[in-house]
Chain A
Amino acid sequence: METPTETATPPSSSAAEDRVLVERAQAGDTRAFDELVRKYTPKLYGLVYNMTSNREDTADLLQDIFAKAYRSLKRFMGKSSFYTWIYSISVNMTLNFLKKRGRHVKISLDDVDSGIQNDPEFIKITTANRDTIREVNIHELQKRLNAAMMNLSEDHRTVVTLYDIQGLQHNEISKILGVSEGTVRSRLFYAHRLLQTYLEDLVK
C-alpha cells in the first residue's frame, strides 16, 4: 500500500481561517486576499513548479492563478474548501499552459534547500543505495528527477506531484482533479512504474 509520509491537508482550524479570509476578501478587503496569497504561494509553487520544471513559467503562472482566483472569488460559494478550489484552478491552468507550451520545454532548476543534507529521507536513500547515490551530486539527482518527471504524461505528473511531493490524500486528489479515487490510484501505479524504469539505477 502506498502512503504519503506527510499530509498537506490543512487542519480544520486552517479551513476556518480560510473561510474568514475569503468572506473578508469577498467583501472587498484586499489585505485578506493578500493573506491567502501569502499562505498558498509556497504550496502552489511546489505544484506548478513540479509540473512545469521551469521557475519563470511557475512565477508567471502563479500570478495568473491568483489573479483568476481574485476575479472569481465572488462566485466562490464555499461548497468545497478554499484549499480544494484554489488547487483545482491551479491544476487546470497549469494543464492548459502545458498544452499551449507543447514540447518546447526549457528546464530551469530551483536551488535545492540546504536542509536536504539533513533530511531523514535523503539520508535513508543515500545510505540504502550507497553504491549509486553517494556518487551522485545533489544537483545531478535533481536534474535526473526533473527529467524523469517530464517524461511522464501530464496526468501522471499531476498525481505524482500531488501525492508523492505535496503529500495529498487520494480522496483530496480525486476532488481536485474531478476523477474517481480509483482513477487516481491507477494513474499513480502506472506513474510509479514508469518512474522506476527511468530511475532504475538510483533505486535498484
Chain B
Amino acid sequence: MSEFQDIQRLMRLKRFEMPGEDFVEDFVTQFRERQRSELLRQSARGLLWERVSTYFDDLISPKWATIAATAAVSVFAAWGTMNMFGSNEQAGSLALHNTEAVMMPVQPSLNVNSELIREAEQGRQLEIEGILLSRHFESEDVVSVAGVSGAAMPVSAELLPVSGFGP
C-alpha cells in the first residue's frame, strides 16, 4: 500500500475533465481545414512565382539576362578596381618621390657611366672636328676652284678662311 495512494486516487479523478462529445470531430475538421489552407497558401506562393517567372521569360530570356547582369557587374567591378589601383599607384609614386626628395641627398652625377659618357663625348667631339676640318678643306678647294674659274660658289662664310677676306 502506497503512502500516496489517496493522493493518487484523487489525481486520477482529473481524467473526468474532458471536452464535449463533439470535440474530437470538430477538432479533426479544423485540422483538415488548417492543412488545406496551408497547402493553398503554399500553392498560391508557387503560382505567384510561376507567373512572375513566365512574365520575365516572355520579356527576356533569363539566360541572357543573367549573362548581361554578370557582365555588367564584372565591368563595373573591373573599372572600380582599376580606379582604385590607379589612384593608389599615383599616390604611391608621389609619396615615393616625396620620400626620395626628402630622404636622398642631391647627387650631381652618376659615377658609373661617367667614363663612357666622356668617351662618347670625346668621340662626338672628334667626329664634329673631323666634319668641320673636312668642310674647311672642302671650302678651300671651293675657294681655290672659284679662284681658278672666277665663278662665285655658295660657300658658307664660316667655312671660309678669315685670311681670304683680308685686304
Contacts and interface: CB of A to CB of B under 8 A. Distances in A.
B17 to A, nearest CB: 4
Contact of A164 (B12, B17, B30): B12
A167 B16 CA distance: 13
A30 B35 contact: yes
Interface string B1-44: 01011111111111111111001110110111011001000000
A62 B2 contact: no
A196 B11 CA distance: 10
A125 B9 contact: yes
A116 B13 contact: yes
B143 to A, nearest CB: 119
A110 B18 contact: yes
B16 A112 contact: yes
Interface string A44-61: 011001100001000100
A95 interface: no
Interface stretch (A13-21, A63-71, A78-86, A97-105): A63-71
A94 B27 CA distance: 18
Given A37-B31, A41-B28, A121 B12 contact: yes
A1 B3 CA distance: 8
Interface string A164-204: 11100000000000000000000000001101100100110
Contacts of A38: 24-25, 28
B16 A34 contact: no
Nearest to B8: A164
A63 B7 contact: no
A196 B4 contact: yes
A63 B12 contact: no
23 contacts: A34-B28, A37-B28, A41-B24, A41-B27, A45-B19, A49-B17, A50-B14, A67-B31, A112-B16, A121-B12, A122-B13, A125-B9, A125-B10, A128-B6, A142-B14, A142-B17, A145-B11, A160-B11, A164-B8, A164-B12, A165-B12, A166-B15, A199-B10
